[in-house]
């Protein structure tokens, strides 16, 4: 029986970083050297390596990830059964979610990386790559959107969050948990998620610039007023608690929402923003009545990406509001 064809796209990240003369680590391993460090890969898949410029994930761009989405769909059309993207973990929850929005195929798509460089004791890169290829080779991973696989856990891109700066167990999915695990050389899934909406765009597509603002204790709203003068196409506000701001900030947000789409999320990753519980000045009910758009369960950084895609597609504020509601409705039970 033929092995599944898996395309391996290597963008860089800690998984390929080796010690430098300055005492730190930086990209150094080739894709071939990376594969050589993972025994048994050839027994589970026929790998086709696609090497990109090795970059730390903080230096990846939205345009590069949007272009990658088109390349991934082209690979599926060429007959690959699954795709694994290897990158740095710093922004993995963002790039995986953007791919989740833009890749049109329902074939398995996995993003992975490493928390420890290959020269460090307990390097997790080889195990993560092995697990990611196993998941991408599993037919059960189809129709689940983009998945993030690290530490033998399988997370959905719409929920996953990096919750620690250096532990191998850094990734969690607040409010949902992993959708599955890798055990005994098999991908085992606990449950299937609703198929979320995909956004078809041209290969030349560019995400629109969207600002992300976190509300803090004693916030005056000064930064929101500055955004009135800047060329951001939209704004995401991470409110405190369930999506709240100081009462004195409400006029700033109302002015801003009268000019460009403003999405309300929570700075707390578990639970998301509410829509109808609190009714005081600066609460979610107050802000939504004043023109803000609910970000629902999406974290601020993921609401920013969805808003960037919608505005990049040319949607007007009314359409953006409708599209957010539609996405949130389709992405959850």
Residue 179 confidence class, pLDDT cut points 50, 70, 90: very high
- 202 domain residue, yes or no: no
Q: Are residues 168 and 305 in the same domain?
A: no
List pLDDT tens digits, range 230-285: 999 999 999 999 999 999 999 999 999 999 999 999 999 899 999 999 999 999 99
Pick from 228, 198, 196: which is nearest to 211 by CA?
228
Q: What is the pLDDT at residue 321?
A: 98
In terms of domains, do 174 and 59 share one?
Answer: yes
Q: How far apart are CA 42 and CA 37, in angstroms?
A: 12
Q: Are residues 128 and 254 in the same domain?
A: no
Please list the alpha-helical segments (H only) found in 21-148. Answer: 31-36, 62-77, 92-102, 125-136
291 has pLDDT over 90: yes
Same structural domain for residues 9 and 119?
yes
Mean pLDDT in residue range 164-169: 97
Classify residue 224: in a domain, yes or no.
yes
Q: What is the reported pLDDT for 201?
A: 94
Q: Are residues 116 and 261 in the same domain?
A: no
144 in the same domain as 61: yes
State the pLDDT at residue 229: 92
Domain tally, the chain: 2
HSE value, Cβ hemisphere, 13 Å, CA-based, for 231: 1
- Give dist(CA 113, CA 11) in Å, integer: 10
Q: Does one domain contain both 289 and 321?
A: yes
- Closest by CA position to 272, among listed 304, 319, 249, 238: 238
**What six digits make up the tokens of 189?**
């899934």
CATH of the domain at 260: 3.40.50.40
73-90, pLDDT tens digit by residue? 999 999 999 999 999 999
Considering the domain architecture, whether residues 89 and 30 belong to the same structural domain is answered as yes
Active-site amino acid positions? 14
The CATH number linked to 94 is 3.40.50.1170
Q: Is residue 204 part of a domain?
A: no
51-62 pLDDT, tens per residue? Answer: 887 889 999 999
In a domain, 203, yes or no: no
Q: Which of 139, 159, 189 is the last residue of a domain?
A: 189
Instruction: Tell whether 30 and 164 lie within a shared domain.
Output: yes
Do 48 and 125 reside in the same domain of the chain? yes
Residue pair 43/84 in contact by the 8 Å Cβ criterion: no
For β-strands 5-10 and 17-19, DSSP reports them as unpaired
- Say what the pLDDT of residue 52 is: 85
- Residue 274: is it exposed, middle or buried by C-beta count within 10 angstroms (0-12/13-18/19+)? buried
Domain shared by 98 and 231, yes or no: no
Domain range spanning residue 274?
Answer: 210-331
Tell me, what's the pLDDT at 332? 84
- Report the percentage of the chain scoring pLDDT > 90: 93
Among 189, 219, 244, where does a domain finish? 189
């Amino acid at each position: 029986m033929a092995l599944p064809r898996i395309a391996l796209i290597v963008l860089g990240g800690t998984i390929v970083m080796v010690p430098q003369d300055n005492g730190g680590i930086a990209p150094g391993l080739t894709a071939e050297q990376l594969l050589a460090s993972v025994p048994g890969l050839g027994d589970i898949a026929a790998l086709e390596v696609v090497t990109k410029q090795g970059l730390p994930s903080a230096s990846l761009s939205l345009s590069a990830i949007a272009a990658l989405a088109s390349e991934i769909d082209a690979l599926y059309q060429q007959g690959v059964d699954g795709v694994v993207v290897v990158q740095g973990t710093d922004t993995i929850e963002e790039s995986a979610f953007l791919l989740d929005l833009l890749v049109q195929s329902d074939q398995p798509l996995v993003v992975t990386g490493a928390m420890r460089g290959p020269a460090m004791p307990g390097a997790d890169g080889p195990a993560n790559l092995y697990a990611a290829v196993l998941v991408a080779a599993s037919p059960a991973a189809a129709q689940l959107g983009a998945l993030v696989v690290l530490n033998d856990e399988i997370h959905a891109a719409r929920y996953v969050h990096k919750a620690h700066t250096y532990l191998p167990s850094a990734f969690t999915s607040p409010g949902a948990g992993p959708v599955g695990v890798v055990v005994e050389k098999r991908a085992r899934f606990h449950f299937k998620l609703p198929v979320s909406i995909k956004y078809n765009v041209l290969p030349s597509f560019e995400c629109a610039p969207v600002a992300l603002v976190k509300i803090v204790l004693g916030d005056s709203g000064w930064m929101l007023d500055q955004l009135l003068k800047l060329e951001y196409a939209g704004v995401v506000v991470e409110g405190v608690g369930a999506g709240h701001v100081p009462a004195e900030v409400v006029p700033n947000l109302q002015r801003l929402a009268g000019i460009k789409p403003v999405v309300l999320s929570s700075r707390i990753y578990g639970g998301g923003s509410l829509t109808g519980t609190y009714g005081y000045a600066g609460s979610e009910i107050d802000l939504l009545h004043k023109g803000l758009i609910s970000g629902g369960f999406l974290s601020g950084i993921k609401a920013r990406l969805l808003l960037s895609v919608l505005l990049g597609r040319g949607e007007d504020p009314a359409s953006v509001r409708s599209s957010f509601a539609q996405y949130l409705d389709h992405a959850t039970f």
